[in-house]
Structure 1
Amino acid sequence: MSDPEKIDGKATSVSVSDALPVERRSREGSLVSVRHADDALLAELGYKSEFRREFSLLETIAFAFSIMGVVASVSSTYSFPLVSGGHVGMVFGWLIPCLFVMTVAASMAELASSMPTSAGLYYFSAKLAPPKYAALASWITGWANITGQVTLVCSIDFTCAQMITTALNVGSDGNVVLGNGPTYGILLAILFTHGFLCSAATGILARINLFYVVVTKPHAMTLVGTTIAAIISLLVASGDQRVSTKTAFTDFENNSGWSNNGWAFLLAFTAPMWTLTGYDSAAHIAEETAGAARAAPIAILVSAFGTASLGWLLFIAASFASASVPDLLTTDLPLPMGQLFLTVLGKHGMLAIWSFIIVVQYVTGAAQVVDASRVVFAFARDNALPGSRWWKRINGYTQTPVNGVWLVVVLAGICGVLGFSEAALTSLAGSAVIGLYTSYVTPIFLRITSGRDKLVPGPFSLGKWYMPIGIVAVSWVSFITVLLLFPPEAHPAADEMNYAVVIVMAVFLFASISWIFSARKWFTGPITTVEKNVQEKESSIGIDS
């Protein structure tokens, strides 16, 4: 298969084998640009290139990193370890899950390197599953991922709204206290602005995320400025109120209402699991990335490890600065981290650093809307969504899936109704983690079972370690999925219930019924959008058929 390309004004034809990474590329023939190599590989995977490849390696890392927004995410989820373990929950309730998450990220990075397409996870599942079950595997993975993507958008923007109400409360000395209704209104306003921002052209989105890196990561890709400022301010300004090292690392407090301390501690895992979601975004923008087979796995690993490391340091600092866990839990502010900053830094210091955290969370939400819209586009491109013909349209001016962006915004706004319950963040965070990690682990499970001999590695490969790493990843996700369905407290009332089970089961039932009565008759998994020649079955590009 060849594709004509003009180089220096002359037409030339480059075979796909010439366009592949070094491990798979024939050394004969002329070399072409990185972008053409990406498009040729994408064609071998079955898709026509429809985006402009304007994300560089740095911008791809920035994009994946910005979705996790470490300082804002820690500030949003600080209540989970406070309730479930106190100081031990902050320090070890973060560290332990992060170690297991890295096995998931490493397995995903290998798959993204082999098959760099916006279809991402559900494409991986289809190609690694037994042919008889390829369509079903793709269907399950796709719907799980979309569930997680949309609820993650909602949960990020919901906590951004809570951050704004917290700032208003502190700035007015407690005179402005906004309830659930106004908070929901702020959420809708944030979603609306994100809809417009994320409908922009790919080049603009890439530059926005690069700006995010420059502002929050002054030392290139190693330190996040706002996070470092938060860590230093908590450690230095807490002064005599700072607890001892022994207390910071070993003091355990169970404020969850669950009688079993071990179970209570496990519920602290919600914080890192919610934060460490979205690194799959590097795979979802693969069709907009130059050198995607190399950039995508690097972005996944660097963003996941960087977020895990910086988040742990921030929680350690918060543990030292938390002189009284009960006082933080009884605050009138929507987010206990706001109270911690207020106690340690005072009103003006708190508002100064809090304003940066709000900006970080806002950009995090914007990046997640982009990611979710690409998943919607890719799934609709394979005709798997109701109204697919609308959601797979690429705007002729911006060259982005504008319809998909607004679908995500509307669905996230509907999910935001959960903000009227006491356990809103628990429900949204649980739904996001369960949906996303189910979609993460399905192709990983298939990789270590039916797909053991199907994957042809890309530039990044786990080699012989794919099996033990994959087993750990699958086992961990199976455990955490069950854990996150439980309510944060024993014997919850209706408004304290964890509604993650409602969201997840509603989507599961819809997808299952659709499959049984309709989709199994026409959905065949990822479709081909380019013409392929008869020899393509013999090529070893990403997957051996």
Structure 2
Amino acid sequence: MATTGMTDDEIQLAKLGYRQELKRSWGFFLNMGTSLGYIGIISSIVTLYSFAFKTGGPQAMLIGWPIVSFFSMSTCLSMAEICSAYPTAGGLYYWSAKLAGDKWGPYMAWITGWFNILGMLAGSPAVCLQVASILAAAIQIYNPDFVPSLGWLYGVAIVYAFLGSATNSIGETLLRIFTWISLVGIATGVVVIGVPLLVMSPTKASASFAFGTLVDKTGWGNSTLVFQLGFLLPLWCFWGYDASAHISEETVNADTTPAKSIIYSLVLSIILGYIFLIILNFVVTDINEILDCPYNEDLVCVYLQGTGGSKPMALLLTIWTLFQFVFNTITGHNGASRALYAWARDGAIPQWFAYVHPESKQPLRTIWVHFFFTATLMLINFGSSQAVNSFSAFSTMGMYAAYTIPTICKLIWARDTFKKSKINLGSFSTIINIIAALWLVYLVVILSIPRRMPIVRTNLNLSPIMFVGVFLVINVIWLLGAKKTFTGPRQHITAEEVEEMEKAKHEKIEM
């Protein structure tokens, strides 16, 4: 292979076992923007606001947010430290493989990879259908008699999903432009929505109302439990920042930029999200009006109440909210398609999926697999919207498991052998890793608790059943043959080639 002109990033990637196939041109802001967009803090909050308002209310939202933020940062920091040492598109499963060693590495990579991939894919249908529901609510502002059919919702959701895949297929240059637009749109979203609400709101709630009102529409009748169920709002918001790791092979200074992006994207999302929640809770003064909202989405009632009943402004804010979802899908498809590409490259799924288009330098097959998987899962909504919501809840549980397994592997097998890179936690590494591992145990419990009582078919929380089911299935597949065919990350380049690359690099420097 040609070795002249090899960059430090390409040589580092070769040492990790891979050739440079994707175009490497992304800097910090684009990398960070991908994770910021995937988190999609405004779109996440508006999706979950109705649930959060009934499950703990303002108190659980504004007091619970900083609590969950603190513990989520332990997971984020642990991931960033490992990402700095192993910047590959595979991300999480690659880390597990390397940290668990030769004996346990392939198995831990198998578990991590499937939770990561399925977590990404399972969350898409609910997001797409949410966009359709918000569009229906926007129509209802001036046409309150409009009732969207399931077919109408599916059609809009399909168009939205198609937009995400098409945007990611058009080439690296245009994708960079769209990512920049997404970054700016998400970063300014709180201002665009928040300022009109603060200026036009005829009355403001008191601080005691915004921070002290506990709402329990769960049926549990236990304020302590309901307050903790309110943690689900930030828990469901705070994932997606692994996207920075998945595009590390396209990022310059890969041993620092993706790790920094993981941290900054979550920190920025925490800050923007908290400001947005404070604004929403201070402009809402009539709880019953929100709880009894006649529109498809309670969000519209919040906007109407916050703008003094102005339908034109409520419509504009709802439309801008829809744009937040567009930003989210562009970046979300980017990270997910790279994860699938890497998963195929290392043999967990057929190599056919590890295809990179020679001109666009995009993994086109995995981009469109993402679309078809989403389109298929959304058909379930014709039978049960609860099942779709359960897929979304499972995605959170699966993603957090994938986020934390590498950290657990590091604690068990590599606490003393892990070679820290440029971004590291120093002497705090172990304690932060332990907090992250314990946090996973807690959140799996809280995500498994029924959210409404009494339990009936329409409110059954299927996510823990799905989580256990997926875990059992991927273990059965492992035992039936995958353990013989999947050996973890493959070595796509020889040690001799790596040595030749380094030699050529040194010779170029000396010249």
Q: TM-score normalised to the size of structure 1?
A: 0.87
Which residue, 468, 473, 476 being the options, matches 1:510? 473
Q: CA deviation at 1:332?
A: 2.5
Structure 1 match to 2:462: 499
Higher RCO (CA 8 Å, separation ≥ 6 residues): 2
Residues 35-91 of structure 1 show CA distances to partners (whole Å, capped at 9, x for unaligned) of x11111000001111100121111111111111122222111102321111110221
Q: CA deviation at 1:181?
A: 3.3
Structure 1 match to 2:506: none
For residues 452 and 183 of structure 2, the distance between their equivalents in structure 1, rounded to whole angstroms, comes to 38
Structure 2 match to 1:375: 339
Structure 1 match to 2:508: none
Which residue, 320, 325, 346 being the options, matches 1:356? 320
Aligned: 1:37 with 2:1: no
Residues 401-442 of structure 1 show CA distances to partners (whole Å, capped at 9, x for unaligned) of 111111111222233245453546742431121111100000
For residues 339 and 150 of structure 1, the distance between their equivalents in structure 2, rounded to whole angstroms, comes to 31
Aligned: 1:404 with 2:366: yes
Residues 285-318 of structure 1 show CA distances to partners (whole Å, capped at 9, x for unaligned) of 0001111111101111111000011101111111
Q: CA deviation at 1:533?
A: 3.2
For residues 433 and 223 of structure 2, the distance between their equivalents in structure 1, rounded to whole angstroms, comes to 30
Structure 2 match to 1:33: none
Q: CA deviation at 1:324?
A: 2.4
Which residue, 180, 185, 200 being the options, matches 2:150? 180
- Mapping 1:234-253, distance limit 5 Å: 234-240=197-203, 242-253=204-215
Aligned: 1:148 with 2:111: no
Structure 2 match to 1:445: 408
Q: CA deviation at 1:535?
A: 9.5
Aligned: 1:233 with 2:196: yes
Structure 1 match to 2:82: 111
Aligned: 1:299 with 2:261: yes
Aligned: 1:261 with 2:223: yes
Contact 2:190 2:275 in 1 (8 A): no
Which residue, 503, 522, 530 being the options, matches 2:485? 522
3-state DSSP class of the match of 1:39? helix
Residues 178-228 of structure 1 show CA distances to partners (whole Å, capped at 9, x for unaligned) of 143321221122112222222222332122111222344xxxxxxx22212
- Mapping 1:310-459, distance limit 5 Å: 310-345=272-307, 346-385=310-349, 388-420=350-382, 421-423=384-386, 426-459=389-422
Structure 2 match to 1:22: none
Contact 1:84 1:266 in 2 (8 A): no
For residues 65 and 287 of structure 2, the distance between their equivalents in structure 1, rounded to whole angstroms, comes to 17
Contact 2:11 2:498 in 1 (8 A): no
For residues 376 and 134 of structure 1, the distance between their equivalents in structure 2, rounded to whole angstroms, comes to 19
Contact 2:210 2:278 in 1 (8 A): yes
Structure 2 match to 1:94: 65
Distance 1:453 1:379, change over 3 A: same
Instruction: Give the stretch that moved more between structures: 48-57 or 327-336.
Output: 327-336
| Large movers: runs of 4+ above 3 Å | 417-426, 533-536
Counterpart residue identity of residue 256, structure 1 = T
Unpaired stretches in structure 2, ≥5 consecutive residues: 503-511
3-state DSSP class of the match of 1:129? helix
3-state DSSP class of the match of 1:484? helix
Q: TM-score normalised to the size of structure 2?
A: 0.93
Distance 1:463 1:517, change over 3 A: same
Distance 1:5 1:469, change over 3 A: same
Contact 2:34 2:334 in 1 (8 A): no
Question: Identity of aligned pairs, percent?
Answer: 27
Instruction: Give the stretch that moved more between structures: 449-458 or 418-427.
Output: 418-427
Aligned: 1:283 with 2:245: yes
For residues 23 and 197 of structure 2, the distance between their equivalents in structure 1, rounded to whole angstroms, comes to 43
3-state DSSP class of the match of 1:292? coil
Instruction: Give the stretch that moved more between structures: 296-305 or 408-417.
Output: 408-417
Which residue, 137, 159, 162 being the options, matches 1:189? 159
Q: CA deviation at 1:142?
A: 0.1
Contact 1:444 1:470 in 2 (8 A): yes
Unpaired stretches in structure 1, ≥5 consecutive residues: 7-13, 15-35, 217-223, 540-545
3-state DSSP class of the match of 2:357? coil
Structure 2 match to 1:270: 232
Which residue, 82, 104, 107 being the options, matches 1:133? 104
Contact 1:55 1:289 in 2 (8 A): yes
Q: CA deviation at 1:158?
A: 2.4
For residues 468 and 142 of structure 2, the distance between their equivalents in structure 1, rounded to whole angstroms, comes to 41
Structure 2 match to 1:214: 184
Instruction: Give the stretch that moved more between structures: 484-493 or 441-450.
Output: 484-493
